[in-house]
Structures are given as C-alpha cells and as structure tokens.
Amino acid sequence: MRKKTLEMRVLERGVELLGSHKALAQQLGVPQYDLMLWLDGQERPSRITFLSAIEVLLEHRDTAGLGSLHSLQPDHLDPLAFLGENR
C-alpha cells in the first residue's frame, strides 16, 4: 500500500466532511472520475484544485463554530489539525 500524500489526506477529509465523493467533486468543479484517481494516488490534483479542497476544509471548520483561522494565536495553530492527524 502506498503512503498517503497530503493531497490524498485533504481530499479524503473533504469527502468525510461533505458526505460523498460526488459532493466533493461538485464542490471542486471536477469530474468524480478525476477525484477518484487523486484519492487513489494514481494522479495528483492541480495546485488550484488542491487549494480549493483546503478551502472546503477551512469553510467546514468555520461553519462548525470553531472560528476562523484569523482568531487563533499563531503558536496554537497546527496547520494539519483539521486533517484529523494523530501526531
């Protein structure tokens, strides 16, 4: 099994947050087939698509009542915390 890239983890989290592959693909404006290739690690999303996926995670964070990133102190901000990483 290949190691999951940051892109793969971000996209997986986006699927979890939005509830389906179809929902994330629609949100990103990409074909679901491409999303599946990226999730499987066969290809990588473009930079703009990857940044859009991060935006989905950040928007979900804001709507969950956790506040915006601007309100957090820099020394308390773990940039990967929203991925659900156990470190």
The pLDDT-based confidence of 87 (bands split at 50, 70, 90) is: very low
pTM: 0.71
Q: Is 2 exposed, middle or buried (0-12, 13-18, 19+ CB in 10 A)?
A: exposed
Domain ranges of the chain: 6-69
- Largest Cα separation within the chain, whole Å, is 39
pLDDT digits (tens, 9 = 90+) for 23-72: 999 999 999 999 999 999 999 999 999 999 999 999 987 665 544 344 33
CB burial of residue 83 (10 Å; 0-12, 13-18, 19+): middle
Rg of the chain on CA atoms, in Å: 13
Tokens (6 digits) for 43: 């290809």
